[in-house]
Amino acid sequence: GENVEQHPSTLSVQEGDSAVIKCTYSDSASNYFPWYKQELGKRPQLIIDIRSNVGEKKDQRIAVTLNKTAKHFSLHITETQPEDSAVYFCAGLRGGGNKLTFGTGTQLKVEL
Amino acid sequence: DTAVSQTPKYLVTQMGNDKSIKCEQNLGHDTMYWYKQDSKKFLKIMFSYNNKELIINETVPNRFSPKSPDKAHLNLHINSLELGDSAVYFCASSYGGGETQYFGPGTRLLVL
């Protein structure tokens, strides 16, 4: 089955800096890669996703890149703000499948 | 106008008891999920139903039994609760095959 690895497990940045979180996946049949943000005590919420027919997708300060050959994808947050502090999860979904496999999460802390 | 709701929000109980968690979604989705998030924040799929039919059944003790009376509801019954069952249980829903999942607020279960 699919295995998704996520790095780093914790990331601390200064406000205004950029943050990058990286994930690798094992199943070459995976074709959908969402990113979820989970604030403390809250539910995971989808913030951006990318499909395998696209190499990059951007939404304001967040962007996701996908390298199908290397089987890795990354989340980029620019101009970080304190409200970006949360746990971020990447995930992968096999084409035609139903099971979303999550990475182990990255605790992002944006310091003033 | 809550999209995915769960009850109860908190559940504190003794070992050996039986408890149920309920989930409802008003998004018109046909697929619902149960996830377990442990103290290390790992999100693991437990079960998934599509139109009341069980489609994902991960390696979960058979003390856990999901039930879907209709496609808008998915309940989780847990028999003979153990200390290791303490976790946050999230319900989620989506259209069809696993993309764009919306999570409920979570049920924080503490087994004493």
Q: Which amino acid is at A46?
A: L
In chain B, residues with a C-beta closer than 8 Å to the C-beta of A47 are none
Of B104, B95, B36, B98, the closest CA to residue B71 belongs to B95
Q: How far is A8 from chain B (nearest CA, A)?
A: 14
Q: 3-class secondary structure for chain B?
A: CCCEEEECCEEEECCCCCEEEEEEECCCCCEEEEEEECCCCCEEEEEEEECCEEEEECCCCCCEEEEEEECCEEEEEECCCCHHHCEEEEEEEECCCCCCCEECCCEEEEEC
Of A32, A98, A102, the CB nearest to B55: A98
Please say if the pLDDT value at position A46 is more than 80.
yes
User: What is the pLDDT, as a whole number, of residue A98?
Assistant: 85
Candidate from A40-44, A96-100, A107-111, B103-107 with smallest mean pLDDT: A96-100
At residue B1, the pLDDT reads 62
> Beta strand A106-111 with A10-14: parallel, antiparallel or unpaired?
parallel
Average pLDDT, integer, range B37-50: 93
Tell me the C-alpha distance between A88 and A44, whole Å: 8
User: Which two three-digit tokens encode residue B36?
Assistant: 């377990």
Residues in chain B: 112
Q: What is the pLDDT of residue B87?
A: 97
Q: How far apart are CA B18 and CA B23, in angstroms?
A: 17
Share of chain B above pLDDT 90, in %: 84
